[in-house]
Amino acid sequence: MAAATHDGRFVLVVDDDDTFRSLVSEILHRGGYRTRGAATGEEALRVARKKRPSFVLLDVNLPGMSGYDVCRELRAEFGEQLPIVFVSGERTERFDRVAGLRLGADDYIVKPFDPSELLARVDRFVGRAQAIFSEAATSPFRLTKRELEVLDYLVRGFTPKETARELTISRKTVATHIQNILTKLDVHSQAQAVAVALQSSLFDFSKRDSESGERNRAHIR
């Protein structure tokens, strides 16, 4: 799958209500954002994979694939850098909001909402995401902070399963980060990625203990 391009002012609005999508798009356009609407979860994923959004406003209740499932897929593919905010006019109880946040959403907005508040939230999250991308652009091999963390664990001999446990993220998310690492390092395997990291002195190994060294040697053999 080709990597999606990134547009720092592109918002994906996912809702099966045409009127709501038009209203939100108008609000965001006034704030200087470009938008793309999607009426289903499947359509949202197609759009995001073609052109990486800088923010996703995601309805919880969608026909077919639910907003929760879409959130999981977006998190797995784009990591924590992509701001995702749930919006709902039906799932408005406290436990609904808690469930959405536990699934990986950055925030949860209840309909109806104030347009100025929506714009403020979008500005805040987009600004944060752009800062992360700026940091990645100046980091070695353009690796994000999370990708460096994953690579660090691989270098220390941890398996992807163990890495997921240490970072408290899913194995699928770790697999996505590893694929991004391989692409950025222009290698084809985890062993090659570890070798590049070692040769490039990406990490300070002066304080590594002997156990980590043994695990690493066992992993790359």
User: pLDDT per residue over 114-158, tens digit each?
Assistant: 999 999 999 988 887 666 555 555 567 778 778 888 999 999 899
* Rounded to 5°, angle at Cα 209 from 208 and 213: 80
- Please report the pLDDT score of residue 221 as a whole number: 47
- Please report the pLDDT score of residue 147 as a whole number: 86
Residues 134 and 145 in one domain: no
Residues 63 and 149 in one domain: no
- Please report the pLDDT score of residue 100 as a whole number: 73
Residue 138, class by beta-carbon neighbours within 10 Å (0-12 exposed, 13-18 middle, 19+ buried)? exposed
CATH number of the domain at 105, please. Answer: 3.40.50.2300
Residue 3 has pLDDT above 70, yes or no: no
For 41, the 3-state DSSP assignment is helix
Residue 213 has pLDDT above 70, yes or no: no
- Please report the pLDDT score of residue 134 as a whole number: 54
- List the domain range (segments joined by +) for residue 197: 140-220
Residues 49 and 99 in one domain: yes
Q: With beta carbons less than 8 A apart as the criterion, state whether 67 and 58 touch.
A: yes
Residues 214 and 161 in one domain: yes
Higher pLDDT, 202 or 58: 58
Q: Which of 138, 155, 176 corresponds to the end of one domain?
A: 138
Residues 96 and 127 in one domain: yes
**Highest-confidence range of 54-58, 110-114, 193-197, by mean pLDDT?**
54-58
Give strand pairing partners of 56.
Answer: 12, 84
The model's pLDDT over 36-94, given as tens digits with 9 standing for 90+, comes to 999 999 999 999 989 889 999 999 999 999 999 999 889 888 877 789 999 987 655 56
Given pLDDT bands bounded at 50, 70 and 90, which one contains residue 199? confident
Instruction: Evaluate if pTM is beyond 0.85.
Output: no
- Please report the pLDDT score of residue 217 as a whole number: 47
CA distances to 18, 40, 93, 130 from 37, in Å: 9, 9, 26, 22
How confident is the model over 160-171, as a mean pLDDT?
A: 89
Q: Which of 105, 138, 171 corresponds to the end of one domain?
A: 138
- DSSP H/E element including 153: helix 145-155
- Please report the pLDDT score of residue 28 as a whole number: 95
